[in-house]
Structure 1
Amino acid sequence: MLEAGEELGGKLRLATVAGHRVDVGAEAMLAVRPEGTAFVERLGAGADLVTPATTAARVYSRGALHPLPTATLMGVPTDPSGALGVLTADEVARAADERPWPGGGVEGDVTVGEYVGARLGRAVVDRLVEPLLGGVYAGHADRLSLRATMPVLWDRARAGTSLLEPVPPRVDADGSRRPPFAGLRGGLGRIPELAAEALRSRGALVRTRAVVRGLERSGEGWRLVVGSAADPVAVGADAVVLALPPAPASRLLRATAPAAASALGEVATASMAVVTLAVRRSGTPALPGSGFLVPPVEGRAVKGSTFSAAKWAWVDELSPDVLYLRASIGRAGDEAVLQRDDADLVTLAVAEVGDLLGTPLGPVVDHHVQRWGGALPQYAVGHVDRVTAVRADVARLPGLEVAGAAYDGVGVPAVLASAHRAAAGVTDHLTRTTPVPGESR
């Protein structure tokens, strides 16, 4: 396993803040999909899976924090009246007056903003959908694909049915309702550590600071060029999985899979920063729920805040004197704020979170700024077809697979699903091409 960076895990990462390790990347994963929790169990840490102590999030709208409607699908409310407060009475009435898409069903991919706005009104997009999309993709509703980011609503759009229809809750085999989110005691950043330990225990070589600069066919296998341009090292492989952001994957595929490289080159990315704050409990007001989201229409730099100590019991137990919370900054196309240095971002986060809460935070004991440059792929209109083109071109090349957040979803379970798909392809290839002992190849 060749990792270009100094640390394993991509957007799963831990850092020490006020003497304790906490997540500075993703801190929760969808539990309604099985891939994430099943992987943790496979790594032997199933007993450490936890559910949030609270999921009562809020949305900042028109000068105040309001409860996020409980029955929503990526911000689209199943009962518009539950959004009163975030929306005005007139905006609620417009959402309830759902209007048909011209012509009935949608034939081609459209943006989320275009479709939801036409049917439920622009306010639903601006004040409910935008903050959810900003939290997941760091993107904008008017640029993101309905088909790729909201497949349930895409199916309804194709059929011309109501967007307000409730989504049935997912249940386990015993009939119990599955919690929507899961975390890991000690942080999701433990997952890559556990995975690397499992790999090494099976004899795998895991290398960091191993930048792959070239990929080419070599007989029936592959040749990778690893290291600096001044000191390149050739590595042979029977099969390769490219688990990379779209830009470097495009560069490596340019010579062998030009169509895939071209399609990946069209996938833009967004940058963001996570500011983790450790503040004095004694001087901090009661934090409402699990955190809040801020729609871009409000003109704030902070797009959301997670009250980690309220959301996760294990974080709350870390210190009797300190509370942990996070602020997220940065959206696609709005990266100018990220040009500030770390100290300025911390000052900005402390000021804005306090202002949005309506009361200042307590004294900051420690802080950490994690920058995620180009980390979030933007699923623009046509993304699903783009991914299909990538995989069709790569499929021509035996022993080559692609995986990661650029394809079928940016969350932990979706990325794991793409990894399972790639692993199955590689396993099938190696099974068919590796000779049985005693036979010639």
Structure 2
Amino acid sequence: MGEPRAAVVGGGISGLVAAHRLRGLLGPRAEITVVEQSDRLGGKLRTAEVGGRAYDVGAEAFLHRRPEAVELVAELGLADRLVHPTTVPAGIRAAGATRSIPGRTLMGVPASVDAVRDVLSPEGVRRVAAEPDLPPIRLDGADVAVGDLLRGRFGPEVADRLVGPLLGGVYAGRTDVLGLRATMPQLAAALDSGVGSLLAAAATTVPAPPPPGVTRPPVFGTLRDGLSTLVERLARAADVRLGLPVRALARRDRGWRLEIGSAAAPGHLDVDGVVLAVPAPAARRLLADVAPAASRRYAEVELASMAVVALALPPGTVLPERSGVLLAEGERASDGVPFTAKAFTFSSRKWAHLAGEPVLVRGSVGRHGEEHLLQRDDEDLVAAVRRDLRELTGVTAEPIDTAVTRWGGGLPQYGVGHLDLVREVEEAVGAVPGLAVAGAALHGVGIPACIATAGAAAGRVAAHVLGAVR
């Protein structure tokens, strides 16, 4: 009997958490290897130095309301570095004006007419008020595009001015493509329970205002020194091999063989179990022979590309009293030119630990189908984002430092029927001993959801590996 051996393909947050969990399950003497084709770990978690400050240029925060990330932070001894956003509100730019994101909404779906009275036109308000009088919604277990449902019930404004910018901020997607059940499960559950109105369904899911004197728990959290701190701690659990693509995956009598490295001179890694924590295209390719049904379903996952443009502005630059601004699709500047950015985060307003000098702002560019916006060099992209910032805020200051980080194919799109797709992937992979999948293409694109899939995958592989070794 040898020591247990497991491989994790992919060095993003999902892969690193899977390796960390495997270490805990298989013990200190197990051989756990993380193979990552790029030259760095972390995937969409990346902390760069911008203007002399540690600044996240990928994911900037995680949902605090879900327990997985908060518990992992504590487990890794990082609880003293956990911070939360300030109470400065965010805004939405729609119909040529910037307004605060209304309360009493679920991802922009109103729970009351009053919640959106200041954001919609009189006709839009009338459509929201009249929605409960429409025939009851009957999904009968089916999925539906978010945009189709919203436009049929509320008209175009709720989708375009509210839900579109908010979902675009999470998925870099469009309401006409994204499916209700994967992106708004609480709303779908309320409709399944018999609530026949969108307005009423949102009202059942939006939490009641806290009693006087009671502060609502924070929604988001991050780490004071950047989320790469999390990556560094997790990486201690495994032998990390960077710059090595996994070219093939094959079953052997007692385990698995990974073909890694160059096509001209490939190497091999033999292990008892494998976690695949890679984007959908890589999972499709690696599963083609060992779990073809899962491979076919992974091929259906569409991807969106985006870029983060980080700006370090001179000390004294005055930002609006907002944590950021989301832009509705199709918004134009005063000269009629469409905005390039889909969102701005005024980080020095949003996060107390980033207040001070320099003043930090990040612009996000790119929705699903907008790859053409990213087909320009860094200098042009920075110039376009600065024009947008000037139009929205009046800030004209020349940055003292900039950083452009591109995320090609970085965000999977949760289309109509996504939950069925994931179920079939997991059933097909589950029929293969010693193999599991994790990552953002499955049960959520956020950090806590990725942590959850990684823990489940590690548990499945560890159970097989321990049985095989014994």
- State the TM-score, normalizing by the size of structure 2: 0.87
Q: Residue by residue, what CA displacement relative to the aligned partner does 1:35-75 show, whole Å, maximum 9, x if unpaired? A: 01111111110111111013510000222210001222111
Q: Does residue 308 of structure 2 align to residue 274 of structure 1?
A: yes
Q: CA RMSD in A?
A: 1.8
Q: Does residue 406 of structure 2 align to residue 371 of structure 1?
A: yes
State the match for 2:166 in structure 1: 132
If asked which structure has higher relative contact order (CA below 8 Å, sep 6+), I would say: 2
In structure 2, give the amino acid aligned to 1:301: T
State the match for 2:377 in structure 1: 341
State the match for 2:227 in structure 1: 188
Rate the CA distance shift 1:170–1:217 in 2: closer, same or farther, 3 A: farther
- Residue pair 2:343, 2:364 contacting (<8 A) in 1 also: yes
- Residue pair 2:301, 2:413 contacting (<8 A) in 1 also: yes
| Alpha-carbon offset, residue 276 of structure 1 | 0.3
Q: 2:388 aligns with which of 339, 352, 366?
A: 352
State the match for 2:10 in structure 1: none
- Residue pair 1:56, 1:68 contacting (<8 A) in 2 also: yes
State the match for 1:167 in structure 2: 205
State the match for 1:57 in structure 2: 90
3-state SS of the aligned residue for 1:352? helix
**Equivalent residue pairs, number:** 422
Q: Does residue 367 of structure 2 align to residue 328 of structure 1?
A: no
| Alpha-carbon offset, residue 223 of structure 1 | 0.4
Q: Does residue 54 of structure 2 align to residue 21 of structure 1?
A: yes
**Aligned equivalents of 1:170 and 1:208: distance in 2?**
48
State the match for 2:41 in structure 1: 8
**Aligned equivalents of 2:396 and 2:207: distance in 1?**
37
- Residue pair 2:187, 2:202 contacting (<8 A) in 1 also: no
State the match for 1:153 in structure 2: 187
State the match for 2:347 in structure 1: 308
| Alpha-carbon offset, residue 98 of structure 1 | 1.7
3-state SS of the aligned residue for 2:35? coil
State the match for 2:285 in structure 1: 251
In structure 1, give the amino acid aligned to 2:368: A
- Residue pair 2:82, 2:223 contacting (<8 A) in 1 also: yes
**Aligned equivalents of 2:254 and 2:67: distance in 1?**
36
State the match for 1:37 in structure 2: 70
**Aligned equivalents of 2:136 and 2:319: distance in 1?**
50
In structure 2, give the amino acid aligned to 1:337: L
**Aligned equivalents of 1:375 and 1:26: distance in 2?**
11
Q: Does residue 241 of structure 2 align to residue 214 of structure 1?
A: no
**Aligned equivalents of 1:370 and 1:79: distance in 2?**
39
Rate the CA distance shift 1:431–1:188 in 2: closer, same or farther, 3 A: same
3-state SS of the aligned residue for 1:164? helix
Rate the CA distance shift 1:101–1:224 in 2: closer, same or farther, 3 A: farther
Is the deviation greater in 387-396 or in 102-111? 102-111
- Residue pair 1:170, 1:177 contacting (<8 A) in 2 also: no
- Residue pair 1:306, 1:327 contacting (<8 A) in 2 also: yes
- Residue pair 1:127, 1:297 contacting (<8 A) in 2 also: no
Q: Residue by residue, what CA displacement relative to the aligned partner does 1:229-284 show, whole Å, maximum 9, x if unpaired? A: 112101011000000000011000001111000000000100000000001133x3
**Aligned equivalents of 1:419 and 1:63: distance in 2?**
43
Q: Residue by residue, what CA displacement relative to the aligned partner does 1:99-123 show, whole Å, maximum 9, x if unpaired? A: 4775632021100011122222221
In structure 2, give the amino acid aligned to 1:433: A
- Residue pair 2:111, 2:206 contacting (<8 A) in 1 also: no
Rate the CA distance shift 1:101–1:208 in 2: closer, same or farther, 3 A: farther
Between the two proteins, what is the percent identity of the paired residues? 44
**Aligned equivalents of 1:287 and 1:189: distance in 2?**
28
| Alpha-carbon offset, residue 76 of structure 1 | 0.9
In structure 2, give the amino acid aligned to 1:300: F
Equivalent runs, 1:114-125 vs 2, <5 Å = 114-125=148-159
| Alpha-carbon offset, residue 81 of structure 1 | 2.0
3-state SS of the aligned residue for 1:206? strand
3-state SS of the aligned residue for 1:297? coil
**Aligned equivalents of 2:101 and 2:206: distance in 1?**
19
3-state SS of the aligned residue for 1:9? coil
In structure 2, give the amino acid aligned to 1:426: V
3-state SS of the aligned residue for 1:296? coil
Q: Residue by residue, what CA displacement relative to the aligned partner does 1:174-205 show, whole Å, maximum 9, x if unpaired? A: x98431111110112221112113x1xxxx21
Gaps of 5+ in 2: 1-33, 332-337
3-state SS of the aligned residue for 1:178? coil
State the match for 2:22 in structure 1: none
Q: Does residue 431 of structure 2 align to residue 396 of structure 1?
A: yes
**Aligned equivalents of 1:250 and 1:100: distance in 2?**
46
**Aligned equivalents of 1:270 and 1:32: distance in 2?**
26
3-state SS of the aligned residue for 2:305? strand
Q: Residue by residue, what CA displacement relative to the aligned partner does 1:7-39 show, whole Å, maximum 9, x if unpaired? A: 101100011111222100011110110001111
In structure 2, give the amino acid aligned to 1:211: P
Q: Does residue 464 of structure 2 align to residue 429 of structure 1?
A: yes
| Alpha-carbon offset, residue 133 of structure 1 | 0.8
Rate the CA distance shift 1:66–1:220 in 2: closer, same or farther, 3 A: same
Is the deviation greater in 264-273 or in 46-55? 46-55
Rate the CA distance shift 1:55–1:157 in 2: closer, same or farther, 3 A: farther
**Aligned equivalents of 2:104 and 2:246: distance in 1?**
45
**Aligned equivalents of 1:51 and 1:242: distance in 2?**
32
**Aligned equivalents of 2:153 and 2:346: distance in 1?**
34
Gaps of 5+ in 1: 436-441
**Aligned equivalents of 1:102 and 1:216: distance in 2?**
54
**Aligned equivalents of 1:278 and 1:269: distance in 2?**
30
**Aligned equivalents of 1:408 and 1:101: distance in 2?**
32
**Aligned equivalents of 1:314 and 1:219: distance in 2?**
54
**Aligned equivalents of 2:390 and 2:201: distance in 1?**
35
